Structure 1
Amino acid sequence: MDNLSIYVVEDDESIRTMVVYALNGSGYVARGFSDSRAFFQAVDEKAPDLVLLDIMLPGEDGLSILKRLRSTPKTARIPAIMLTAKSTEMDKVRGLDMGADDYVAKPFGILELLSRIRAVARRTVESGRQTAEEGNGIFEYQNIRVDEASHIVTVDGAEVMLTRKEFKLLCDLMRNQGRVLTRDQIMEQVWGFDYGGATRTVDIHINTLRKKLGDDGTMIQTVRGVGYKIGK
């Protein structure tokens, strides 16, 4: 996981400098930005492998930045870790709902931050590379076709653009056709950790995925009181 490029958006210069220094010293290629304008200018030139976003920023805040990232095909699958002084359950859930991969509450230690980055990178960047190298993972159910290696989803032959979380969620459902996945299982498989307070996050992503799949979104069935499945 060395040489991964990481962009750090943090308005506190002392924290930004410390984090960038620690990341560069740990084998990553890190750049720091104080606001969204400079960050998106850099993203337009070269998208990073992972982003650290402070929630409380002047002007456009971290959640708004995350929303823009997730709504753009070029950046929709970039892993994002939220850095925030807020640690309430609602703030955590909001970040996860909008597509964050993890969150670290301030004040945090550098060793903890590096550990979280490695965990997210293993679940996202490296696993994606491994899948592409293996060249496997094609799932089909009626009009829905998922090519896990190339990250392409088509419905009745037309490509559908999904965020990385939506794509992973659909892959897990397609891989387990006919089996019911509980919300806790989905949370563990898609987000990489079990966070009992975030079942709402799973429901929101399911609803968004259904909408993007159009009429075929009804293939994702709700099993009341248990979870979700595709197929009989």
Structure 2
Amino acid sequence: MYSILIVEDEINISKLIKINLEKYYDIEVAYDGETAIEMVSERRPSLMILDIMLPKMNGYDVLRTIRNLNIDVPVIMLTAKSQDVDKILGLELGADDYITKPFNPRELTARVKALIRRIYEFNGNKSIQSNGILSYGDIKMDLDNNTVTINGKDINLTKREFELLKVLMLNKDRVVTREELIDSVWGDKYDGDTKTLDVHIKRLREKIEINTKSPNYVKTQWGIGYYIGGSRSEH
């Protein structure tokens, strides 16, 4: 599971953010800039939500410091200021996005999800070859032509099955939670039936696995989600 570091000294705001994100991600909170730098350096979260007005060290200095340390954690700046100059400064220092207080928690959650997808699931994974091919074992996915082959044999997947396999391949060796799969493949169009994902995974396995009861590719982490690759714990 991806981890989020919330850096916000206002208790009520940090709690609000945490409540909205903790069902999707592991959450930690820092209440001042110096602690934030220590936590980022030691734990390397997947993403940081960073307030500008902080005790001990403001958000700009925190961002400048972690970038000088060559820490590439994605950052969403959070502030009560709305002037363009503040936004521009944050982006110039290396912020990836910017949201102004007061904010809609659903909007912040949507921005976090979008940034996570963009950084880790679609652009940031080094398993994509220069020719747009994803591979694992005997599976090859051609992302440019939307085709899948196993041992050179074409596999006919539906759009949903293809997208599920792509997300798992992009995150191989990492457990992808059910929530992450649903959000990446269905988004807001998901009908809320918890069995829908399981049915699609079942159909995908029927097409790519020799033995669906003992799969070689799409494996289950019970109570959490699915993964492709080595049998590793969620992180």
Sort the TM-score into its range (normalised by shorter chain): 0.5 to 0.7
**Does structure 1 residue 133 correspond to structure 2 residue 131?**
no
Q: Kindly indicate which of the two structures has a greater share of residues assigned to helix.
A: 1
Give the secondary structure class of the aligned counterpart of 1:52: strand
- 1:114 corresponds to which letter in structure 2? T
Please report the TM-score for the alignment, with normalisation by the length of structure 2. Answer: 0.53
**33, 38, 41: which is aligned to 1:41?**
38
Describe how 1:91-110 pairs up with structure 2 within 5 A.
91-110=86-105
Residue 115 of structure 2 is matched in structure 1 by 120
| Distance change in 2, residues 1:45/1:60 (3 Å) | same
Supply the distance in 1 between the matched residues of 2:25 and 2:53 (Cα, whole angstroms).
Answer: 25
Give the secondary structure class of the aligned counterpart of 1:91: helix
On the 8 A contact 2:34/2:62 being kept in 1, the answer is no
- 1:12 corresponds to which letter in structure 2? E
Supply the distance in 1 between the matched residues of 2:40 and 2:87 (Cα, whole angstroms).
Answer: 25
**Does structure 1 residue 83 correspond to structure 2 residue 78?**
yes
Residue 22 of structure 1 is matched in structure 2 by 20
On the 8 A contact 2:3/2:46 being kept in 1, the answer is yes
Give the secondary structure class of the aligned counterpart of 1:31: strand
- 1:120 corresponds to which letter in structure 2? L
Give the secondary structure class of the aligned counterpart of 1:103: strand
| Distance change in 2, residues 1:93/1:44 (3 Å) | closer
Describe how 1:43-192 pairs up with structure 2 within 5 A.
43-73=40-70, 75=71, 77-130=72-125, 132-136=126-130
On the 8 A contact 1:53/1:81 being kept in 2, the answer is yes
1:103-161 per-residue CA deviation (whole Å, 9 max, x = no partner) reads 0100001100011111212222223443x112337xxxxxxxxxxxxxxxxxxxxxxxx
> Where in structure 2 are there 5+ consecutive unaligned residues?
132-235
| Distance change in 2, residues 1:89/1:44 (3 Å) | closer
On the 8 A contact 2:91/2:97 being kept in 1, the answer is yes
Give the secondary structure class of the aligned counterpart of 2:22: helix
Q: Could you tell me how far 1:88 is from its partner in structure 2?
A: 1.0
Give the secondary structure class of the aligned counterpart of 1:57: coil
Supply the distance in 2 between the matched residues of 1:127 and 1:61 (Cα, whole angstroms).
Answer: 32
Q: Could you tell me how far 1:86 is from its partner in structure 2?
A: 0.6
Q: Could you tell me how far 1:101 is from its partner in structure 2?
A: 0.5
**What count of residue pairs does the alignment treat as equivalent?**
131
On the 8 A contact 2:118/2:124 being kept in 1, the answer is no
| Distance change in 2, residues 1:95/1:129 (3 Å) | closer
